[in-house]
C-alpha cells in the first residue's frame, strides 16, 4: 500500500462486505447489492476517464494550444477545462442517474429495480 488512503479504501471495502447478508428482505438486499455493483463499475469508469483527462488536459502542449485556436477557444486553459469536463461528464451523469433510482425506490420500488437492472445489463454486470 502506497499511502494511508489505500489502507482506508481496503478497510472500507472490508466493512462493506462485512455488512452482508443484510438484515432485510432478499429483494431489498438484492437491490442494495446491485446498487453497489453499479457504483463500483461507475467508479472504475471514472478512474479511467479521470486518468485520461489528467494526462491529456491537465498540462499544456502544442497540440492542445493549436486545437484551442482551431476550435475557437479564448485560451488553451479554457480548452483544457472544457475537454477535462467532457471526459468526466459520464460519471457526473451516472451518479445523477443512481441518485434518481434511489429516490424513485421510496415510491416505486419495482420501477427502481427495473431501472437498476437495465443499467447493470448495459454494462454486462
Check whether the bond before 21 is cis (ω within 30° of 0): yes
Q: In terms of Cα–Cα distance, which of 50, 51, 79, 48 is closest to 63? A: 79
- List, for residues 37-80, the tens digit of each pLDDT value: 999 999 999 999 999 999 988 776 788 888 888 999 999 999 99
Q: What percent of the chain has pLDDT over 70?
A: 98
Q: Which three cell numbers stand for residue 52?
A: 485520461
Give the chain's radius of gyration (CA, Å): 19
Question: Is this model's pTM higher than 0.75 or not?
Answer: yes
Indicate the domain borders of the chain: 23-122
Residue 119: φ, ψ to 5°: -65, -40
Amino acid at each position: 500500500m502506497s499511502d494511508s488512503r489505500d489502507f482506508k479504501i481496503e478497510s472500507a471495502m472490508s466493512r462493506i462486505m462485512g455488512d452482508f447478508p443484510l438484515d432485510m428482505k432478499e429483494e431489498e438486499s438484492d437491490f442494495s447489492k446491485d446498487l453497489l455493483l453499479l457504483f463500483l463499475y461507475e467508479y472504475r469508469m471514472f478512474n479511467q476517464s479521470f486518468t485520461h483527462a489528467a494526462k491529456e488536459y491537465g498540462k499544456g502542449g502544442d497540440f492542445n494550444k493549436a486545437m484551442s485556436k482551431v476550435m475557437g477557444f479564448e485560451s488553451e486553459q479554457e480548452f483544457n477545462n472544457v475537454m477535462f469536463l467532457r471526459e468526466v461528464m459520464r460519471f457526473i451523469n451516472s451518479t445523477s442517474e443512481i441518485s434518481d433510482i434511489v429516490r424513485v425506490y421510496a415510491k416505486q420500488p419495482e420501477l427502481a429495480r427495473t431501472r437498476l437492472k437495465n443499467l447493470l445489463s448495459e454494462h454486462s454486470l
